[in-house]
Amino acid sequence: MLVEAAELAADLQVTAGTHADPRTGTPVLLDVRWALGMTDGAERYRAGHLPGAVYVDLETELAAPASPAAGRHPLPSAAAFQDSARRWGVGRDSRVVVYDGVGGTSAARAWWLLRYFGLDDVRILDGGLDAWTAGGRALEVGTVTAEPGDFVARPGGMPVLDADDAAALADGEGVLLDARAGERYRGEVEPVDPQAGHIPGALSAPTTGNLDLDGRFLDEARLRERFAELGIVPPDAGHAAGPGEGDAAGAREESAGEEPDGEESPGEELVGEELAGVGVGVYCGSGVTASHQIAALAAAGVPAALYPGSWSQWSNDPTREVATLSGGRSAVDEVGSPRDRQH
């Protein structure tokens, strides 16, 4: 799932002088320079990118048009994604490496979509552009136009959730993780969506917690430890109590407890029985950084489903309840309420 910069450099050196092609084994490189509020990803790409990398526009190629009903980054249609992937040079049997400049949090969206639409060999460059340049490796300027590929999009390669599925997981049928920053989860601030807060019952697990100080993924052991603290263990780790068994329900109630001074709120952690082999779902603001969380879970041996509409869809639906943490307590409001609403 991950590839180190040195490994990728050696791979490219072995296949130097050949075009990205599954017959030669040359990986297709995709540059997904994007972050919330960033509008100059293409310019950054042209100023310097991995040799041979093709730029991917997250807003137009990794998402369908935004709408309140579907969210800010709905999944693209199979036909639209197939056209984009072919333009990038992706073939039916291509090896693909995706990267960005933000620890893989946007590149993971391309990783997830390629897997969802049926491509098996997709990896994220661990540490992204910084890891590449840290080794003194060269960048290329300008725009790369790839020879069109013959990729065929077949949706269904990764599990997805709709709003009802997400609500059911959060209500005790499994575990629902909120990958946004803690202050957005708590309802203290909301920079882009119409309502501050989180899906009732969801647990806070900011995507940044998957990375070390160099923007690289934590190793498998540390990722497993991180998710175990949230009550999540790999399905093959042995039996543990499922939803509704033992103290699991009580642990969720404890998540609304008082917030100790100088510490994260217990509402952002699940301290209770580990839930092995049950459903795990992830959402964020619009289904982008949640893909990174799913990649981290996969690295830890835990399969997880994406809620593509995420908070941008949920918070626009007046029938959905919203939870906030106020004074260390959990408060649940209807989305239509003006309370805690920010624009």
Check: CB of residue 54 under 8 Å from CB of residue 27: no
Could you tell me the two tokens for 99? 């990267």
Please give the backbone phi and psi of residue 123, each rounded to the nearest 5 degrees, phi first.
Answer: -130, 155
Distance CA(9)–CA(77), nearest Å, equals 33
Element (DSSP H or E) covering residue 2 = strand 2-3
CA–CA separation, 86 and 211 (whole Å): 31
**Catalytic-residue membership of 97:** no
Q: List the structure tokens of 297.
A: 């879970």
Alpha-carbon distances of 90 from 54, 129, 296, 307, rounded to whole Å: 10, 21, 24, 26
CB burial of 178-198 (b: ≥16 within 10 Å; e: otherwise) equals bbbbbebbbbbebeebebbbb
> Which of 28, 124, 202, 284 is flagged as catalytic?
284
SS3 110: helix
Separation of alpha carbons 223 and 220, rounded Å = 5
Catalytic residue numbers, as ranges: 284
